[in-house]
Amino acid sequence: MAKKSVGQDAEGAVSPRARLLVAVPYLWLLGFFLAPFLIVLKISLSETAIAQPPYVPVLDFAAGLRGVADFLAGLSFANYITIAGDDIYIFSYLKSLKVAAVSTAILLLCGVALAYAIARAPRRAQPLLVMLVVLPFWTSFLIRVYAWINILQRDGLLNQALIWLGLTDQPATWLATDTAVYIGLVYSYLPFMVLPLYASFEKLDESLLEAAADLGCPRWKAFFVVTLPLAWRGLGAGALLCFVPIVGEFVVPDLLGGSDAAMIGQTLWTEFFANKDWPVASAVAVVLVVLLTAPIAVYQHLQTREIEARQ
């Protein structure tokens, strides 16, 4: 059964007004994602140079068609070959994917617990609890990560607390380890996991849990066979909102992590600012975008399939 959507007339044609409305998000994407991405893509095909800007070729419109031909002839995939052939980049990518996967897994566990607790709290308390989750955003992200340096350093709050509790007599090394990076990432991204999950849990019809219990399903089991499957949209959204930016994360690993294995965001930063190699930095960024498109495409596919199944 074909349903007409908003803005369609009797013949199913889309009205100009509806067209304009649909165009807005596309124009937005064109202006703020596609155009910058194309610029980055173009730089990634260039060659580094001591010049202003620090790469060649530069499109010279004054030279007319000849200039365009020169420009196109100057482009090459050399930077991508460099990236593919150098362990540093491959390890950086793998490290980033690993850190993002582990962090997202920890975030899922913490986020599900926290969001579920908020959704089960008395209705009147819920806005306050959600507010508390969002409250850290009122302070600068950078300052909050610096605060973690204070907590995690050798004579920091964490070690003091551990010694005071008698759990250890020697201060442990936290700062400049992967553990510190995970702590920082989980702390920073928790709201992005909690909010979509809370929205999913909060919508859950209490009578479904009663129906499960009535049919012989204990409460704890109903969480896994009813609550979680019904919150899959929130789980997917939360996981994407955390996984994608964590892969490219720079601040947290740079401030809290060690210097041994850099994440791809740090490698990119080094190429761009330290080595002044814009073309390689751009190539790194382009590969990253391509890598991250995969999980988003999978999520989109699942969502589309579900919507189609409903019709």
Partner 1 sequence: MSRGFAPLSDTKAEPLVRFESVSRRFGGVAAVDRLSLDIYRNEFFALLGPSGCGKTTLLRLLAGFERPDEGRITLGGLDIAATPPHRRPVNMMFQSYALFPHLTVAGNIAFGLRQDGIAKAVIAARVDEMLALVKLEGFATRRPDQLSGGQRQRVALARSLAKRPQVLLLDEPMAALDRKLREQTQFELMDLQARLGLTFVIVTHDQGEAMTVAHRIAVMERGRIVQAATPAEIYEQPQSRWVAEFVGDVNLIEGVVLETGAGEAVIGDNGGRRYRVAADAATGAQVSIALRPEKIRIHAAPAPHDAPNAMRGRVCDIGYLGGISIYKVRLDDGVTLKAAVANVARNSGQTFGTQDEVWLSWPPDAAVVLTR
Interacting residues toward partner 1 by CB under 8 A: 205, 207-208, 210-219, 221, 226, 229-230, 232, 309-310
Give, for 310, the enclosing helix (H) or strand (E): helix 278-310
Considering the complex, what minimum distance in angstroms separates the CB of residue 207 from partner 1?
Answer: 4
> Whole-number minimum distance, CB 83 to partner 1, in Å?
43
For residue 243, which of 33, 102, 37, 92 has the smallest C-alpha distance?
A: 102
Residue 32 or 232 with smaller CB distance to partner 1 = 232
Q: What DSSP string runs through 71-118?
A: HHHH--SHHHHHHHH-HHHHHHHHHHHHHHHHHHHHHHHHHHHHHHHH
Looking at the Cβ atoms of 157 and 208, the one nearer to partner 1 is 208
Task: Please state the closest distance from residue 229 (CB atom) to partner 1, in A.
Answer: 5
Q: Which is nearer to partner 1, 19 or 221 (CB)?
A: 221
What is d(CA 71, CA 61) in angstroms, rounded to the nearest whole number?
Answer: 10
Minimum Å gap between C-beta 311 and partner 1 is 9
Nearest to 192 by CA among 141, 246, 250, 242: 242
Smallest distance from partner 1 to CB 38, Å: 41
For 17, residues 6+ apart whose C-beta sits below 8 A from its C-beta are: 7
State the nearest-atom distance from the C-beta of 242 to partner 1, in Å: 24
Distance CA 132, CA 56 (A): 50
DSSP string, 144-155: HHHHHHHHHSTT
Report the nearest approach of partner 1 to the CB of residue 245 (Å).
Answer: 29
Residues 200 and 234 sit within 8 Å (Cβ to Cβ) = yes
Nearest distance in Å: CB 212, partner 1 = 7
Looking at the Cβ atoms of 52 and 207, the one nearer to partner 1 is 207
- Tokens linked to 170: 């020697």
Pick 25 or 122: Cβ nearer partner 1: 122
Q: Toward partner 1, which CB reaches closer, 86 or 210?
A: 210
219 or 301, CB closer to partner 1? 219
| Sequence-ordered list of residues with C-beta below 8 angstroms from that of 70, at least 6 positions apart, any chain | 57, 60, 63
Residue 13 dihedral angles phi and psi, to the nearest 5°? -75, 150
Question: Smaller CB distance to partner 1: residue 24 or 307?
Answer: 307
DSSP code of residue 212: H
With a CB cutoff of 8 Å and minimum separation 6, the contacts of 152 are 158, 174, 175, 180, 183, 256
